Amino acid sequence: MQLNFQTPIEYLKGVGPKKAILLQKELQIYNLADLIQYYPFRYEDRTSFHKIIEVEEDLSYVQLKGYIQSPKIVAKGKKRLVAHLKDDTGIITLVWFQKIQNILKQLKPNLLYQVFGKPTIYNGIYTLVHPEFEIFNPESVQEKKLIPVYHTTEKLKANQMDSRYLRSIQKNLLEQFPSHLVETLPNYLREQYKITDKRTALSNVHFPNDFQILQKASFRLKFEELFYIQLKLLQTRQLRLEKQIGDPYTDIKLLHYFYETSMPFPLTAAQKRVVKEIYADLRSGKQMNRLLQGDVGSGKTIVAFLAMLIVIGSGAQVAMMAPTEILAEQHYKKLKEFASSLSLRIAILTGSTKSSERKKILEELAKGDLQIIVGTHSLINDAVIFQKLGLAIIDEQHRFGVMQRAKLWQKENITAPHVLIMSATPIPRTLAMTLYGDLDISIIDEMPAGRKPTKTLHYYDAQRLKVFRFIKDQISLGRQVYIVYPLIEESAKMDYKNLMDGYESICRAFPEIPLSIIHGKMKASDKEYEMQRFAKGETKIMVATTVIEVGVNVPNASVMIIENADRFGLSQLHQLRGRVGRGQDQAYCILMTEYKLGTKSRDRIQALVSTNNGFEIADMDLRLRGPGDLMGIQQSGLLELKIADLSKDTHILEIARDAAKSVIKQDPLLENSHHHILKQRLEHTKNMSWGNIG
């Protein structure tokens, strides 16, 4: 039978109908293409040997060479065959529970054996259970190479379909390699980036001769996977740029005036760079679609304001949308402060704007009397009509979906406004390039000078009295304190009880200190009232659930206590911590947990204690949790990668993106004959996973 990649798996030698069903159910392997893309997750090196003295429990396997001593069947307890292997550095125990008569016959004295297995400690002694063994033969070692290891499941193993089985069917597949396997990257790119051809890469990723060959093969496959994603994203971006004109805003007199007369502080180099990047977009005649990333406190607001001035100075209006009312309010205040020296009209529109006020705002917007409107979702309402909207700034805080972002201002049937998305959740570069790869990205990677980094400490619940004393001292120095409790949907009831219990115990501990409390069950107006009291310094301690996570700015609050810190995600903890350290005083973030902590929780807490850098935190979050879980990003099709790993393959991603960039730059529609492969595959993969083979 002539095989091709769509051939159902059951027709492969060594599979058959019964095993095919198991492969489908357990590993989603339906056809030959699925199988060949079921890559090993590690490799065993059978080309070299360990000495017995080097054996450690955390080695996933060892290969040893030595003489067998005193094999005997032990009947006490579970019947087993026990032998010892001796080399010139030590002795290790070998144990078998099955087929023991048979194995006993094969174990001969005075012959050199090679033995392979996973070391464990058994009754305090290093042991290999059910090791593979054979008489040592230097020539066969030469042939042994690296052995691929595949993930299997309990069910597969119960049907004798273990890693070794998968290895054997991969071998069968490669031997009958479908003849129609085509190269999927243009030759010139393969030459430029020294990329192995596809056939060789597939063959070597399963059965590499050595690590160098493996590395070449996996580079090829990872590159391809990432390259096609980037190609798609960059093509989308390029076509949008070509189609989507944007009004050019070139008049920077207002910006200069503000800069010369009213800048409250010198910009950091990063802020300057980003303003230039935005200005280049605004004047280009193409619609801007830019993501502005910067850690909490890095100064995104002033950058947004300067961008506004370019647009306003050129005669158009700007809108700024925030995910919550509290945040919209804060942006509004801050922008108003910046704008106070300029005669700009600025207003805020949210769900709680009174209808008379609302009416007035809408009229002024339509007439062009208002230059800046700040708001929540209310801004996307159909009734909101601008005289000329030139720039929409979206403070994303990872609450607005990507879809919403796209639809946002489409009702404007005139020229689409420029769009600047601000995100205070630093995303690792690899993830940003993949999730927001169709946008341009600006990064503020520098904090304003003179900031004192927040000190982060980890305390156990048992040390609470000490923490209370610390709170008291800080308050007597004039500072204010947040105490934050987790609120997780699934356990909301318990969490509220926790919050209330905590609140009561704080009341008891600080009878003379005025407190505020904010939680999600309160009415917006009550929350606002409490927030205001705290902001004015009338209350000294704010007990809250994570509602304060987003954007709240009280510079005098310099201490944050986070209860049950292990229940928060890493990025979320970092976000919370960003609420303090906004003023002149040394800020503290104290993470409270029980003494008993899982390894992962401990790693998270440790990560937070060790760095204040949001991008580093995001990288760690990515490593600890994987991209799927990061910041609740849905497992989007984009992130289902077969071989590349966004937490590790940063370098390959950069190369793939550069390659895709140069292709799209030369030939955005992929019309050149040497790009036909690319065009074909992009169309082909439209509705399929990216790595699909053909």
- Report the interface residues with ligand ADP, using CB under 6 A: 265, 267-268, 271, 294, 296-302, 424, 448
Nearer to ligand ADP, 81 or 560 (CB): 560
Closest approach, Cβ 131 to ligand ADP, in A, equals 57
CA-CA distances (angstroms) from residue 384 to 154, 333, 388? 59, 21, 12
Sequential DSSP letters for 602-615: HHHHHHHHH---HH
Position 348, amino acid: I
| 474, two tokens | 């800080």
Contact predicate 388/418, CB 8 Å: no
Closest approach, Cβ 295 to ligand ADP, in A, equals 7
Nearer to ligand ADP, 436 or 485 (CB): 436
For strand 90-96 and strand 125-129, is the pairing parallel, antiparallel, or unpaired?
A: parallel
Residue nearest to ligand ADP (CB): 299
Dist CA 548 CA 516 (whole Å): 12
Closest approach, Cβ 582 to ligand ADP, in A, equals 6
Sequential DSSP letters for 262-310: T-SSPPPHHHHHHHHHHHHHHHSSB--EEEEEE-TTS-HHHHHHHHHHH
Among 452, 473, 541, 535, smallest CA distance to 502 is for 541
Closest approach, Cβ 18 to ligand ADP, in A, equals 59
Dist CA 396 CA 322 (whole Å): 7
Nearer to ligand ADP, 358 or 479 (CB): 479
Closest approach, Cβ 372 to ligand ADP, in A, equals 16
Dihedral angle, C-alpha 630, 634, 639, 641, nearest 10 °: 100
Nearer to ligand ADP, 217 or 552 (CB): 552
Position 327, amino acid: L
Closest approach, Cβ 483 to ligand ADP, in A, equals 22
Nearer to ligand ADP, 41 or 265 (CB): 265
Dist CA 13 CA 27 (whole Å): 18
Nearer to ligand ADP, 293 or 353 (CB): 293
Nearer to ligand ADP, 119 or 294 (CB): 294
Buried b (16+ CB within 10 A) or exposed e, 75-104: eeeeebbebbbebeebebebbbeeebeebe
Instruction: Identify the three-state secondary structure at position 360.
Output: helix
Dist CA 688 CA 103 (whole Å): 49
Closest approach, Cβ 271 to ligand ADP, in A, equals 6
Dihedral angle, C-alpha 401, 406, 407, 412, nearest 10 °: 140
Dist CA 84 CA 99 (whole Å): 18
Dist CA 676 CA 679 (whole Å): 5
Closest approach, Cβ 377 to ligand ADP, in A, equals 20
In residues, how long is the chain?
694
Closest approach, Cβ 334 to ligand ADP, in A, equals 7
For strand 119-122 and strand 80-87, is the pairing parallel, antiparallel, or unpaired?
A: unpaired
H-assigned helices in 510-642: 524-535, 570-577, 599-610, 614-625
Nearer to ligand ADP, 279 or 338 (CB): 338
Dist CA 653 CA 668 (whole Å): 20
Nearer to ligand ADP, 300 or 675 (CB): 300
Position 438, amino acid: D
Nearer to ligand ADP, 90 or 583 (CB): 583
Closest approach, Cβ 301 to ligand ADP, in A, equals 3
Nearer to ligand ADP, 296 or 365 (CB): 296
Nearer to ligand ADP, 446 or 667 (CB): 446
Nearer to ligand ADP, 184 or 293 (CB): 293
Dist CA 175 CA 118 (whole Å): 30
Closest approach, Cβ 621 to ligand ADP, in A, equals 19
Nearer to ligand ADP, 184 or 268 (CB): 268
| 667, two tokens | 């030939």
Closest approach, Cβ 531 to ligand ADP, in A, equals 16
CA-CA distances (angstroms) from residue 41 to 9, 148, 163, 232, 573? 21, 8, 11, 27, 32
Closest approach, Cβ 499 to ligand ADP, in A, equals 26
Closest approach, Cβ 293 to ligand ADP, in A, equals 10
